[in-house]
Every structure is written in structure tokens, then in C-alpha cells.
């Protein structure tokens, strides 16, 4: 099987697949490079940051399997892939643990002003009395997108002693009952936004979620609240957010793990604001997640190879008979 791995994944998984298959690695390629290296590939494995558009797919006539190592297919032209009969898989499960824990790391960093305290201490200052923070305990956690990751964030918030409100795109009594078992009350978006002390975002990037958090939503947020975007860049209108942070009164702090402009050399418009935490899309970047993801990639790949070989054997038998 001819495989292209276009993003960094677990090295053991690469070694295992390479032992029996033609595996080519070209991590984070630009579009022209990607179109060149994908030409003869049957399998494509990648994470976020790689744009698998129709032009790329058109360059890969033999492509039969796409594995997105993570959540969502927002960086894939899904309709084009389906039209070509390409099998597609995502692997959302491992990220639910790493991203949910990262969400709490960012919430705690904001609430306890960790970056400010660190910078102050490195400068030789001792601002113990000036760096008062906030508890998460007994606060309201608002989860926009209470799906695989968001519901785990909500569950952890419930365990932490927070009141948890969540919303989903397609609510139902069944979804409400399932979330309630995790300590999450299913409500509408307006209630989540207006009552949350900590508002966290866990939605996919698609037409309905682009600029979901805009100036109107930011204006309705609770005074003294915090916002964490660990979903996708573009879900938050960054121009409106900058204005809310510099001119408004509602937001105490913001953490952004994802950004409208991502990649080496891209400067964030929030880089000079001390009440903003900026991280480079590392929500799922843990050693444990990489290993788990690698194992799941191999399972999907091995199953596909076995099915492909089975079809080939059946065809061979049919021809021979």
C-alpha cells in the first residue's frame, strides 16, 4: 500500500507501517509540494494545518483512504472526496482527554494570572498582594459545543465544583439526559453566554460556526468573565475580540490555543495584551495522545488493508474459476 503521512504522528506507528508498506513522510507541506507528493498515493494520513482541498484530491487518482488524526474534517473537501468514493476516518477519542485538560490549564492560567506572576517574578518583583486571582469552584462554566470534547470539559467542571451549562447545535431530550448524567445542564446559546463566568468553545469549523463569537455575543457575556477558544481559528471574530478586550468591560481575560492566522512567523494581534494567553494549537499535543492516536491509525489502516486484500483475493478467485 502506498501511504503519504502529511503531519507528524507517533514515530512507532510510522515504523510499523513502513515495515510492510511504501510510506512517504512529508510533514506540513505547502500546497504545491502536497500536490506533487500525493500523486501516486493510496492512503493519506494527516492532522490539522494541512489543507486537503479539491485541487489536492484531484492530483491523487489512486487515493482510497483518508485518515484525519484528530477531530473534524474542516480541512478536507468532504463532498469532493465522497464523489471519488474515498473512505474517510477521523479519530476524535484521544483528543477528548488532552484537549479537555488543556482547557483547564488555560482556565486556571487565566484565573490565577499565572503568566503575569511568572513574568513578574522573572523581573525580580514580588507582587504577592497585587496578583489576586479567581476560583473556578462555585463558578459557572459555559460550554459551547458539548460534544465529545466539550462534554468531558463539562464533566471535569462538574467534578471541580462548578455549575455547568452547555449547548449543542441539535438539542434533544436524549442529548439533555445524557449530558445531565455528566453534570451538564443543556440550555440555549444565549443562556450559556450570558451566565458563564468561564466560556469555553468546542465546536467544529464550518459555515454555521464561522465568527460565531462576534461583537454581539461578546457584548452579552457576563461582566468579569473569561473566554477560552480551543476549538478552531475563525470561530471567534478576532477583530471584535480585540475591541472587546481593549474597549469593553466584560472580559477579564482570554486564552487562545487556535487562531485565525496560524503558522511560523504569524504574529497574533493580541501579543501585547497581558490578560491574554496565546498557545500554538497544542490542545492535543501530549505524548500519551500521540501514542493512542498512532495505535488507532494503525488499526484503521490495517483493517483497510485486510479488506482490500480480501477484495483482491475474491476477484482473483472469480477470474480463476
Catalytic positions are: 232, 262, 281
Q: Within 13 Å, how many C-alpha atoms sit on residue 259's CB side?
A: 21
Strand residues in 133-174 grouped as ranges (E): 140-144, 163-167
Helix (H) or strand (E) holding 201: strand 198-201
Using CA atoms, how far residue 148 sits from 68, 125, 143, 168, in Å, is 16, 42, 12, 11
Q: CA-to-CA distance for 33 and 155, rounded, in angstroms?
A: 42
Sign of the CA dihedral 258, 275, 287, 100?
negative
SS3 state of residue 5 = strand
Residue with cell 475563525: 234
Q: CA-to-CA distance for 68 and 45, rounded, in angstroms?
A: 6
Amino acid at each position: 500500500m502506498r501511504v503519504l503521512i502529511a503531519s507528524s504522528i507517533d514515530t512507532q506507528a510510522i515504523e510499523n507501517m513502513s515495515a510492510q508498506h511504501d510510506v512517504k513522510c512529508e510533514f506540513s507541506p505547502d500546497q504545491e509540494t502536497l500536490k506533487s507528493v500525493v500523486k501516486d498515493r493510496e492512503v493519506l494520513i494527516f492532522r490539522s494545518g494541512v489543507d486537503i482541498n479539491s485541487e489536492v484530491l484531484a492530483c491523487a487518482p489512486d487515493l482510497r483512504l483518508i485518515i484525519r488524526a484528530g477531530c473534524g474534517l474542516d480541512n478536507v473537501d468532504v463532498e469532493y472526496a465522497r464523489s471519488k468514493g474515498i473512505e474517510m476516518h477521523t479519530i476524535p477519542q484521544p483528543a477528548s482527554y488532552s484537549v479537555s485538560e488543556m482547557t483547564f490549564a488555560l482556565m486556571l492560567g487565566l484565573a490565577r494570572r499565572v503568566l503575569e506572576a511568572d513574568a513578574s517574578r522573572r523581573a525580580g518583583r514580588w507582587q504577592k498582594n497585587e496578583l489576586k486571582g479567581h476560583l473556578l469552584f462555585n463558578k459557572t462554566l459555559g460550554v459551547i459545543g458539548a460534544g465529545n470534547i466539550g462534554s468531558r470539559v463539562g464533566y471535569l467542571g462538574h467534578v471541580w465544583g462548578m455549575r455547568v451549562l452547555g449547548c449543542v447545535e441539535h438539542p434533544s431530550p436524549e442529548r439533555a439526559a445524557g449530558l445531565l448524567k455528566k453534570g451538564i445542564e443543556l440550555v440555549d446559546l444565549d443562556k450559556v453566554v450570558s451566565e458563564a463566568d468561564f466560556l469555553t468553545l468546542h465546536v467544529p469549523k464550518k459555515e454555521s460556526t464561522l465568527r460565531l463569537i462576534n461583537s454581539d455575543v461578546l457584548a452579552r457575556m457576563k461582566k468579569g468573565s473569561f473566554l477560552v477558544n480551543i476549538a478552531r481559528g475563525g470561530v471567534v471574530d478576532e477583530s471584535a475580540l480585540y475591541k472587546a478586550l481593549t474597549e469593553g468591560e466584560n472580559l477579564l481575560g482570554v486564552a487562545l490555543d487556535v487562531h485565525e492566522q496560524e503558522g511560523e512567523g504569524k504574529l497574533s494581534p493580541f501579543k501585547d495584551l497581558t490578560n491574554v494567553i496565546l498557545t500554538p494549537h497544542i490542545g492535543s499535543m501530549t505524548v500519551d495522545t500521540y501514542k493512542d492516536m498512532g495505535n488507532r491509525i494503525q488499526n484503521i489502516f490495517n483493517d483497510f488493508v485486510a479488506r482490500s486484500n480480501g477484495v483482491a483475493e475474491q476477484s482473483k478467485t472469480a477470474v480463476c474459476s
